[in-house]
Amino acid sequence: MLTLLFMILFFGIFGRLIGFAFKATWGLFKICMYVVFLPLILIAMVVGGLVYIALPILIIVGIISFIVRA
């Protein structure tokens, strides 16, 4: 009986930890995308001659960042 109770509680706590790990991973992924990869992608587009695509993306991201920050 105690073993069954232990297993139920163990999986309950372990399940919460897995949920927290997924939330933390998603948060870190978003930070990496916005801080590291988006500027690198935009710079690569400009160097590659795709300014007409990179500029509207930069403007849209800038407007969204001003709206979300306020």
**Tens-digit pLDDT string for the chain (70 aa):** 888 888 888 888 888 888 888 888 988 888 888 788 888 888 888 888 888 888 888 888 888 888 887 5
Q: How many residues appear in the chain?
A: 70
Q: Do the Cβ atoms of 39 and 58 come closer than 8 Å?
A: no
- pTM higher than the cut 0.75: no
The structural domain count of the chain equals: 1
Domain that holds residue 36: 2-69
Q: Do the Cβ atoms of 46 and 54 come closer than 8 Å?
A: yes
Positive or negative, the CA dihedral 14, 15, 20, 25 is positive
